[in-house]
Structure 1
Amino acid sequence: MKLLFGVTLAVFSLLNFGHAAGPAVLVKHNDQYHGFMQLPRISEVLTRVNSQAQLYWPAARLYKTDDEAVAELEQQRQALLQRLEQLQLVYTEDDDTEFVQSAKSLAVQVKSWTLAKQLLLVLDPERVRTKAQLNPRLWAGFYSLQVQARPETVSVTGLAKNSELPLLEGAEAADYADLLQFHSGASSSFIYILPAQQKPLLAQIGLWNKKRQDVPAGAVLFVPFEQRLLPAEFENLNQQIVELLQHRVVL
C-alpha cells in the first residue's frame, strides 16, 4: 500500500501544472490519473472518463484511497481476523472440525481483500448532471474509480467454494444460491447481495422464507454463517464481515 501511495504522490507532482500545490483531487481510472485543481463535483469526474465506449455505470464504484481511510479499514480487518481466530478456537474445543475449516477459509479470504473506502454515491452521468442533490463535491484527496464494460460474472465470497458465477439474466438470489457449493456452517436461508453504490441487501433464499430479490450486474454475493450455528458471543459476526466487505475493491 505504501508503494501505491508513493506512485500516487509522484503522479500528483507531475500534475502540478505549475501551481504551488498539486491537484486538490486525484482520481485513478484504468491506470490513468485525472487531477482537479478545485474540488470537483461528481459530474465533472464522470465526464472525464465517460468518453470511453461501453462503460457500464450501474456497476461503477468510487473508492477513497487516502492512507487515513485505508488505515481505518485495516484496523477493522485485524479486528475481524481476531474474531475469526477466536471462533476457530471455540469450534476446536467443540470438536467441530468442519466448522473450523470454514472459519479458516473465510479468514484467508478476508486477508486477501484489497481495501479502500467505498463511497455510496450515485455514479450515473446523466442522473448526477440533472439532479443537484446527487452531484456533491468530492473532498480533497485520492480516489479510485472502477467502471468497465458490463460484467459477465458475479463475484462470490464467504462460505461458498465458488469465487464467481456467470451473470444470469433475469435471475434472483435463490437462482444463484442453487449453483453454489457451500462450506460447512453456511446459511441455506439467507445470502447477502452487495450492489455497487448501495448498502448491502439481505436476500431470503430458503424453502421456508424465499422472497424474490434480484441480483444486479456487478454485485457481490456473500454467503454468511448460519446464524443458529454461531455461538452467542459471535451473533453479530456476519454483519461485521459485510461491513468490511462493503469496502473490498472489486476489480
Structure 2
Amino acid sequence: MFTFSSSRALALRSALFALVSLPLHSQASEQTQVYVSTSLESNTAFTVSFDAAPRVSQLVSEGARVIRPHLLNQAQAHQSELIYWQGASLFSNTLSDATTDLLESVKADLHTLSAEWADDAEYKASVDALIGYIEDSTFRERLDVPLDEDFYLMGSRINPLANGDLTLILPRRPEQVTVIGAVVEPKHVPFATLTDANGYLAHIDTLNTFGISEVAVVAMNGELANHKIAYWNGEAQNIPPGAVIFVPFQRLPFGLSSLNEKLPRLLQHRVM
C-alpha cells in the first residue's frame, strides 16, 4: 500500500526533505519514502510512501500519477507527454562514502586551484565561480536504474526493488544547457535541437588558449560522455536538453591533474 501527501517546496533546500516527509509508521525500517517533484526548485512536491520496498516500476508509476496533474497547466499544445523521461532521475538521499569522498576531494582541489592561480585574476575568478556552482548544488546518490515508464509497461524483466529514503525527479523538458569549468563563469545557454558542444561553446568565453579537443557532457539522467570537438578529432554529437557541458582546465598544477576527471563524475550525482 502507499499514501501520498503534497507540500509546498521550501526555499531552503536543506530543510525541504525533512519537512515534506510523512510520519513513519511503527515498521519504519520496512517503509520506503519517495520525495517526488519536477525539480528541487519546484513549488509542488509530494512524498509517496510504501509499506514495503516497491519495484521501480511501481515507484515510477505512482510518481508519474501524482505529478502529471500539476504539469497540465504548463503543457504546450504540441506536447504528447508531460514528463521528460530522458531526464528522470532517482536518488538515495544519503551519499555513499565513495561519493562523499569524491565531493570533498573536488571541493578541496578547487580551493587549492584557486590559491594556486591567485596571481591570475581571470583564472582565479573562473575557479571561484565554479566553487560557487558546486556549493550551490545539491548532491544525492544516483541510483542507476531505468526510469522510463514505457520501459516497464512493455514488460521489462529488469525491475529491481527500491527502498530507503529516496528522491524521484520527473522533470519537464528543459529549455537550456549549462556550460561550466574552464569558462569565465558558468552560463546557461538556450537549448537548440541538433546542436553539438561547439555550438554552445560559441556563446561562451573560455580560458583555453590551446584549443579544446574534448569536453565532458553529463545528461540529466546521469549519463556521462566525452565529446571530441577539435577540427582534427571532431565527431558530431548532439547535446540533450538540460545537459551540463564541462570544459576541462588546461595547465593544471602538479597534483591536481585528476580534477578534470573527478568533477564530471561528481556531476552525475547532482540533482538537476
User: TM-score normalised to the size of structure 2?
Assistant: 0.77
User: What letter matches 2:201 in structure 1?
Assistant: A
| Residue 45 (str. 1) matches residue 73 (str. 2) | no
Contact conserved, 1:25 with 1:35, CA < 8 A, in 2?
yes
- Within 1, Cα distance between the matches of 2:172 and 2:132? 29
Contact conserved, 1:187 with 1:223, CA < 8 A, in 2?
no
Q: CA offset at residue 100 of structure 1?
A: 2.4
Task: Give the paired residue count.
Answer: 238
User: What letter matches 1:231 in structure 2?
Assistant: P
What is residue 241 of structure 1 aligned with on the other side?
263
Contact conserved, 2:198 with 2:229, CA < 8 A, in 1?
yes
- Within 2, Cα distance between the matches of 1:12 and 1:32? 13
Equivalent residue of 2:117, what SS?
helix
Contact conserved, 2:90 with 2:168, CA < 8 A, in 1?
yes
Equivalent residue of 1:233, what SS?
coil
Segments of structure 1 that go 5 or more residues without pairing to the other structure are none
Instruction: Give the alignment's Cα RMSD to 1 decimal.
Output: 2.6
User: Percent identity of the aligned residues?
Assistant: 25
What is residue 158 of structure 1 aligned with on the other side?
181
What is residue 98 of structure 1 aligned with on the other side?
122
What does the per-residue CA deviation read over 1:96-124, in whole Å, with 9 as the maximum and x for residues that have no partner?
44322222222222211111111222211
| Residue 127 (str. 1) matches residue 155 (str. 2) | no
- Within 2, Cα distance between the matches of 1:155 and 1:61? 18
What is residue 3 of structure 2 aligned with on the other side?
none
| Residue 188 (str. 1) matches residue 199 (str. 2) | no
Label 1:170 to 1:5 Cα distance change in 2 as closer, same or farther (>3 A). Answer: closer
User: What letter matches 2:89 in structure 1?
Assistant: R
| Residue 29 (str. 1) matches residue 52 (str. 2) | no
Equivalent residue of 1:26, what SS?
strand
| Residue 197 (str. 1) matches residue 221 (str. 2) | yes
1:65 to 93, 97, 101: 93
2:238 to 201, 206, 214: 214
Q: CA offset at residue 173 of structure 1?
A: 1.9
What is residue 78 of structure 2 aligned with on the other side?
none
Q: CA offset at residue 209 of structure 1?
A: 2.2
Label 1:72 to 1:112 Cα distance change in 2 as closer, same or farther (>3 A). Answer: farther
What is residue 102 of structure 2 aligned with on the other side?
76
Segments of structure 2 that go 5 or more residues without pairing to the other structure are 1-12, 38-44, 73-81
Equivalent residue of 1:217, what SS?
coil
Contact conserved, 2:92 with 2:140, CA < 8 A, in 1?
yes
- Within 2, Cα distance between the matches of 1:173 and 1:199? 16
Q: CA offset at residue 35 of structure 1?
A: 0.6
What is residue 84 of structure 2 aligned with on the other side?
56
Task: Please identify, of 43-52 and 96-105, the stretch whose mean Cα deviation from structure 2 is larger.
Answer: 96-105
What is residue 115 of structure 1 aligned with on the other side?
139
- Within 2, Cα distance between the matches of 1:25 and 1:176? 40
| Residue 11 (str. 1) matches residue 25 (str. 2) | no
Label 1:181 to 1:97 Cα distance change in 2 as closer, same or farther (>3 A). Answer: closer
Task: Please identify, of 108-117 and 216-225, the stretch whose mean Cα deviation from structure 2 is larger.
Answer: 216-225
Task: Please identify, of 183-192 and 39-48, the stretch whose mean Cα deviation from structure 2 is larger.
Answer: 183-192
| Residue 230 (str. 1) matches residue 267 (str. 2) | no
User: What letter matches 1:242 in structure 2?
Assistant: P
Q: CA offset at residue 26 of structure 1?
A: 0.8
User: What letter matches 1:243 in structure 2?
Assistant: R
User: What letter matches 1:11 in structure 2?
Assistant: L
